[in-house]
Structure 1
Amino acid sequence: MWTYNYADRNYFPGEYTAAYITCSEKKADWKTHKKVCAANAQANAGSGTQSAADANATQSTKALEADFPKPFHRLDAKTWLHDRTEKDTYKLLIDTYRLRLDDDYTFTGDVDADSIYGGATDGGRAGFRRFLKRVERNPDLLPRWWTPAKAEECMRYGTDSASWSDLGCAVEKHDVSEHYGNQLMPMQLRMFGEQVLGTGPGGQKGAAMMKMQMAVESGGGSASTH
């Protein structure tokens, strides 16, 4: 059994190694596949770093078309995706799904048969479509312009093998942080995923961390990104 803390998301080295080997025994070739995907993600991510001054910034404009202040307040209000462009919305939905896949694989060993972790031959599209349907059960989470036709556009957005948003490639926490130039983006994705799926990674709840980050945004504390 390994330890996972929602608040800081640290891997505990010895325990994590044992857990990863167990998962690797399920899918012997997945470790190699993840290395290839990680290399692709790095190539598409850019090299932005985050200073202490912008540690609680929404996200880097190099990865999204528009920034919004106080993202954790928006998450709490369930308006995190509201007023975003179509491209940004598609991208964030895809990354919420991909990071949750990796979290489930890493922390609990859970693998969906219709995901690339489960050997899906369609590039993971069926698994992502199922995730989108879960999102659509909570329509208030989506922008007002969302329609079934937009859902299909979102699916197509994830099929470009040359782009960051390729559903056929896995991402990990550090890939997301580097791509968006924001160490808090994995936390945002995980909290949005919790609103969609009902629980956070490993069955944890993010309510306490949400309150902490909202206090930071209101000037009442310091950001936790670990």
Structure 2
Amino acid sequence: MDDITKFAQQLGLSGEQDPIAEEACLNCRKSAISLNQPLKRCGNCRVAMYCSQDCQKANWKSHKRQCASSTQKQAKQGPSQGQKGEFNATLSGLMQAADGKYLHGLSEDDAYSAIIDSYRLRVEDDYVYGQGVSGLYADEDPFPDFQEYLSLAEERGVMPPWWNTEKRRECERRSNGADWSNIFYAVEKSDIIDHYKDSLMPMKLRMVAEKVYGTRVGT
């Protein structure tokens, strides 16, 4: 019997109408299928599932005791193989970013998005931390500034081995496309986290920009 089934039984939710087995929100009981969206696990115990933060907050009083119990059990057991794999992948990504090789391990589509978003976040950071304004934040066409950023990235070995003139033109085209990564729209740290579903993504993108510009934000 897995942890989710045990959890459901303790809460009196097991049986034919078991919403947990159907991946349903623990609070409102709506299934992922009916909501047409994936559910999110409790960030602490990783067992309870919710459709929204509002449902998670509403269910906290009844969930907190089980949450603490599940967390303590997981701490005694140590990290699972999946958690170890996730940690190793995260550590590897950060090390690659610090070495200026983060883009090298990505697919072409992901590399295009990452280099564009590293530029977008750096422009935002420079503005927030008083490092000056450029491109969009200077009420200018950001494209020439982004082209200069790409040229610096090429000179400093940040771009992946498959990068060439044709790939650069494709990246420039995507920088003003209909997708998320668009230099004509401002972006913040919270936006990056929401989009990539990765709390460390802003750090990775900032490391990429540091390698491009040779300086850290705020220095």
Q: TM-score under structure 2 normalisation? A: 0.58
Pick from 152, 159, 168: which aligns with 1:142? 159
5+ long unaligned stretches in structure 1: 1-45, 59-66, 204-226
Q: Number of aligned residue pairs: give it.
A: 143
| Residue 155 (1) aligns with residue 172 (2) | yes
Runs of 4+ in 1 over 3 A off after TM superposition: 46-54
| Residue 75 (1) aligns with residue 97 (2) | yes
Matches within 5 A, 1:173-212: 173-203=189-219
User: Which amino acid is 1:132 matched to?
Assistant: L
Structure 2 CA distance for partners of 1:106 and 1:84, relative to 1, 3 Å? same
Deviations 1:159-198 (A, max 9, x none): 11x3211110010000001100011100111111111111
Matches within 5 A, 1:98-177: 98-108=120-130, 110-112=132-134, 115-120=135-140, 122=141, 124-139=142-157, 141-160=158-177, 162-177=178-193
Deviations 1:187-219 (A, max 9, x none): 11111111111111111xxxxxxxxxxxxxxxx
Matches within 5 A, 1:207-226: none
**CA root-mean-square deviation:** 2.7
Task: Report SS of the residue matched to 1:146.
Answer: coil
Matches within 5 A, 1:4-15: none
Distance 1:73 1:153 in 2: 27
5+ long unaligned stretches in structure 2: 1-37, 47-82
Give the C-alpha shift of residue 68 in structure 1: 7.3
Task: Report SS of the residue matched to 1:201.
Answer: coil
The alignment-based identity, stated in percent, is 34
Q: Judge conservation of contact 2:100–2:207 (CA < 8 Å) in 1.
A: no
Q: TM-score under structure 1 normalisation? A: 0.57
Structure with the larger RCO, 1 or 2 (CA within 8 Å, 6+ apart) = 1
